[in-house]
Structure 1
């Protein structure tokens, strides 16, 4: 609009100057107004250009902020997803930890049960040993050795006291000692009894006895049958076995060593099925989940 007015004034000025002989005063006034309009027009053009530049800058800034907003929304979505996953894993982790604590507590109870059982067994073994040693005379103790090794009671009887010379038949003097041992075995019904024969390395030369294997087993069998038939021990608790010359406790090159090796051991142990029952009662444990490793 300013431009139109400027052109209009210029035309009027030209017409007036050329046709009518306008006065100098009016001419100068019109020229001043024309100049003012020209300056106003120039300023308007500059303001318009500046406004357009500001609009363009604001539009660019708006587009930039839109892109930032989209990026922030995407980042927020990723963070929310990570948070949801962490919450889910934490919940599962709490469940796994609780389960693990329960399994540890169950295992601790089982271990304590085993310890209590072992302590009870050890106590019974000591009572058994003390009762047996107190019941034996000083003379009998020369031929009887009683030990507790790893929860097992070993009663070692010398060959000279148990059997007739060169035989597997029980001697008369062994009867009183076996009766005392049988009394202890009968009192402790929760124990198994293994009778184990042992010999020295000297070969045997007796009819119907092929070697020291035979002799060791026959001697163990004689003790088993004496405990059953003469002293009423339940045969279901008894086992006869022989190890021949292959379980020495002394040097077989000396007479003293051979005497120690010629022995019969009465081995008293808790019943194996009781231990199997303990194993069966062991708490079951699952493998640790991968996210707990």
Structure 2
């Protein structure tokens, strides 16, 4: 009986031990499964965290780009507004420039007309002189330089050697010159005396300066005696310092000894004419 009891208890213990082993095995398997799931979840979590970090970095970069784009857009808007203003100002400035150029061209044309008018009078004087004096006389030259009429009379026609007394022969020529000057009361006549380079001294005359000026005043007195307004006459002596050619021969020295009548508009009246044209253009 006792053996049967022991055998029964042993059987129970064996059965109990087998049951516990099965539960342990099942628990271990479940634990392993749980650990696998945990590892998988951890890997996924780390991957998600990594993706999140990349996404955050991209988001920051996109925000920076958006900020830069907004600044660029604002700058473009401002630049466009400025360009619009500049374009408008440029158009205004261009229009003003064109108006200024047109006004300047008009002034130039008016001034050119005034100068042309003066030149026409000058040419009329030349024509009148050539008809009255005669262009075939080798001792008288009439020409125009820079809009000014020059009448050059050889020394031998006006004066005797070393003298400043006008010859009777020359008075006929000076009468024609006087008529031209009298016909142009708005013009002046400068009488220039020229000598050669040979030194000269005689009585009251110290040198060629004195001789050239004295010859000029002698001609002026003749013209004044012929009715020329003395306010139109200017006495000038150039001595030997404006020669026509070298003073190396008797013939050349003879050419350089001359009296020149310069017929020119009164400078103050000419400038007044120009000033009046400018005032007329500006509406004054």
Q: TM-score, normalised by structure 2?
A: 0.72
The answer as to 2:278 corresponding to 1:256 is no
> Kindly tell me: are residues 66 and 181 of structure 1, through their superposed partners in 2, closer, same or farther at Cα, counting changes over 3 Å?
same
Q: Shift of residue 79 of structure 1?
A: 0.9
CA distance in structure 1 between the partners assigned to 2:57 and 2:244 by the alignment: 101
Asked if 1:246 corresponds to 2:241, the answer is yes
Is 1:70 aligned with 2:67? yes
Question: Displacement of 1:48 after TM fit?
Answer: 11
**Cα distance in 1 for residues equivalent to 2:150 and 2:113:** 22
Paired position in structure 2 for 1:116: 113
CA distance in 1, matches of 2:141, 2:262: 12
Q: Tell me the SS of whatever aligns to 2:106.
A: helix
Deviation at 1:63, TM superposition (A): 5.9
The answer as to 2:264 corresponding to 1:269 is: yes
Deviation at 1:164, TM superposition (A): 4.3
Q: Say if 2:163 is the partner of 1:167.
A: yes
1:219 aligns with 2:195: no
Equivalent residue for 1:234? 229
SS in structure 2 at match of 1:173: helix
Per-residue deviation, 1:158: 1.6
Separation of aligned partners in 2, 1:135 and 1:183? 10
Aligned residue number for residue 23 of structure 2? none
Deviation at 1:57, TM superposition (A): 8.4
Structure 1 gap ranges (5+):
1-44, 284-293
Cα distance in 2, alignment partners of residues 282 and 96 from structure 1: 27
Partner Cα distance (1:250, 1:195) in 2: 20
Distance 2:135 2:71 in 1: 95
1:46-92 superposed Cα distances (whole Å, 9 cap, x missing partner): 99999999999887776665444333222111111111222222222
TM-superposition CA deviations, 1:260-291 (whole Å, max 9, x none): 111100011222224544775798xxxxxxxx
Does the CA contact (< 8 Å) of 1:107 and 1:282 recur in 2?
no
Contact 2:143 2:149 in 1 (8 A): yes
Moved more, 241-250 or 273-282: 273-282
1:183 aligns with 2:189: no
Cα distance, 1:143 vs structure 2: 2.5
Cα deviation for residue 157 of structure 1 reads 1.0
Q: Does 1:147 align with 2:151?
A: no
Q: Which runs of 5+ in 2 are unaligned?
A: 1-41, 279-284
Partner residue of 1:210? 206
- The aligned counterpart of 2:197 is 201
Question: How many residues were matched structurally?
Answer: 264
Does the 8 Å CA contact 1:158/1:263 hold for their aligned counterparts? yes
* Counterpart Cα distance in 2 of 1:203 and 1:59: 109
Is the Cα–Cα contact under 8 Å of residues 114 and 273 in structure 2 kept in the other structure? no
**Over aligned residue pairs, what C-alpha RMSD do you find?**
4.1
Secondary structure (helix, strand or coil) at the match of 1:118 reads helix
In the alignment, which of 94, 98, 101 is matched to residue 98 of structure 2?
A: 101
